[in-house]
């Protein structure tokens, strides 16, 4: 890959009217299918008919937390505290279980109005306080505290608003707590939804299983950095680190699926990112590059260390050895991996995903799958009234070499 790639090459004209402000009923959205360099139309409720009969699907079961806290400054104005990631906990999931107080890295809307006093939100049964304790560039370090026995996850559910993406130009509503959440969400920690999963419900799951598909679940907690635009060259863009989890049972099942030749199809870019990060984590372990501390998959690893690449089965076996060395069945890690044109996908045959923002890292990811055909796919979607971005329609994209 040429790191000096111009992000303008991954631009397209997206009128604001094409951005879905509200979702359709689950299953009713359009589904564009790209396979063998051909584009066709379907709907999510019929996705079972478009999948290979022995598809091995991977869903991200992260749960969106109500991360936007609107503190009243006075009766006329508010100060918004957007919780991004914990400061003193190694794992987001540990942070979600904190009681009484927690320190968080946050974005603050209306920061100039906030002097040195504490902000207080009266929730009836409990009061939530916010105190500034530091700052790092655009981010504030905030200590949140509350009385009572609730966990931080429960406090956010009680006090917070849904963190809708910035391109949805409306206030979050109560129904967004349901619609901006997958039906299978399980593990709290994301500040953005794995939106490809929003289209699925139990009826569609039953149809896919009846057609021979195997449904599997992993966790990658989605950060706000997923919306960070690429300002200039890709080389200068710093990928956001996101927390994911190695799970012994998942790795064992994935290994069996690969050995059986089943096509691995992630639902959403976050599921894909987690899978490919796991692959490279196995390569890192075999190279002796994982110590006893925090585990991070570097941004450019797949491009800078191509000679580390090993057989996917061998990589998964390395992950099992890593878990054995830590004497655990699951392990958190962080990934900064970038997936862009020139990336060789090691595990997957296709991707189910929504339509993404122009000039974003997710557009780079789509181009890594189907090359220049992304332009035809997106132009077709624009010409045929597909709805775009988080609450919009989606696509099933098969790799050209699959």
Q: Where are the domains of the chain?
A: 7-63+190-398, 67-160
CATH code of the domain made up of 7-63+190-398: 3.40.1780.10
* List of long-range contacts for 6-12, beta carbons under 8 Å, 24+ apart: 6/233, 7/230, 7/231, 7/232, 7/233, 7/234, 7/237, 7/359, 8/359, 10/358, 10/359, 10/360, 10/363, 10/364, 10/367, 10/374, 11/358, 11/359, 12/358, 12/375, 12/378, 12/379, 12/382
Give Cα separations from 224 to 68, 147, 169, 361 (angstroms). Answer: 12, 28, 17, 13
The more confident residue out of 294 and 217 is: 217
- Give me the pLDDT at residue 388, please: 98
Residue 43: pLDDT band by 50, 70, 90 thresholds?
very high
Helices 269-286/361-370 angle, 10° precision: 80
- Give me the pLDDT at residue 401, please: 63
pLDDT in tens, 169-187: 999 999 999 999 999 999 9
* pLDDT for residue 236 is more than 70: yes
Residue 77: pLDDT band by 50, 70, 90 thresholds?
confident
Round to whole Å and give the CA distance between 353 and 369.
12
Fold held by 67-160? Thrombin, subunit H (2.40.10)
pLDDT, mean of residues 7-19: 95
Q: Is 287 helix (H, G, I), strand (E, B) or coil?
A: coil
Mean pLDDT score across all residues of the chain: 94
Nearest to 389 by CA among 4, 6, 23: 23
């Amino acid at each position: 890959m040429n790191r000096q790639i111009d992000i303008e090459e991954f631009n397209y004209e997206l009128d604001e009217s094409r951005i879905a402000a509200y979702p359709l009923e689950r299953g009713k959205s359009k589904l564009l299918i790209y396979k063998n360099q051909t584009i066709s139309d379907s709907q999510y409720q019929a996705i079972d008919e478009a999948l290979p009969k022995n598809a091995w699907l991977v869903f991200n079961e992260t749960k969106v937390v109500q991360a936007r806290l609107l503190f009243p400054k006075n009766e006329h104005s508010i100060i918004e505290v957007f919780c991004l990631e914990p400061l003193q906990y190694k794992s987001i999931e540990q942070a979600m279980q904190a009681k009484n107080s927690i320190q968080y890295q946050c974005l603050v809307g209306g920061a100039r109005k906030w002097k040195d006093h504490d902000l207080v939100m009266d929730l009836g049964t409990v009061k939530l306080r916010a105190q500034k304790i530091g700052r790092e560039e655009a981010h504030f370090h905030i200590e949140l505290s509350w009385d009572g026995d609730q966990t931080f996850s429960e406090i956010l559910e009680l006090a917070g608003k849904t963190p809708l993406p910035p391109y949805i130009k409306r206030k979050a509503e109560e129904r967004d707590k349901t619609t901006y959440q997958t039906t299978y969400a399980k593990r709290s920690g994301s500040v953005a939804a794995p939106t490809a999963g929003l289209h699925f419900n139990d009826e569609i799951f039953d149809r896919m299983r009846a057609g021979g598909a195997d449904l599997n679940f992993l966790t990658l907690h989605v950060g706000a950095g997923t919306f960070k635009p690429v300002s200039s060259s890709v080389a200068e863009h710093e990928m956001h680190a996101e927390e994911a989890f190695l799970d012994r049972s998942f790795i064992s099942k994935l290994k069996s699926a690969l050995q059986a030749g089943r096509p691995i199809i992630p639902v959403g870019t976050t599921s894909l990112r987690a899978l490919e990060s796991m692959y490279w984590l196995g390569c890192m372990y075999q190279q002796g590059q994982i110590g006893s501390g925090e585990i991070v998959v570097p941004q450019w690893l797949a491009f800078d260390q191509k000679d580390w690449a090993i057989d996917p089965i061998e990589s998964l076996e390395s992950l099992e050895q890593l878990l054995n060395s830590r004497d655990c069945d699951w392990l958190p890690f962080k990934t900064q991996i970038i997936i862009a044109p020139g990336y060789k996908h090691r595990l997957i045959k296709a991707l189910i995903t929504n339509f993404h923002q122009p000039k974003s890292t997710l557009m780079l990811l789509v181009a890594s799958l189907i090359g220049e055909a992304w332009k035809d796919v997106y132009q077709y979607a624009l010409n045929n009234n597909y709805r775009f971005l988080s609450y919009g329609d989606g696509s099933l994209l098969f790799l050209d070499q699959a």
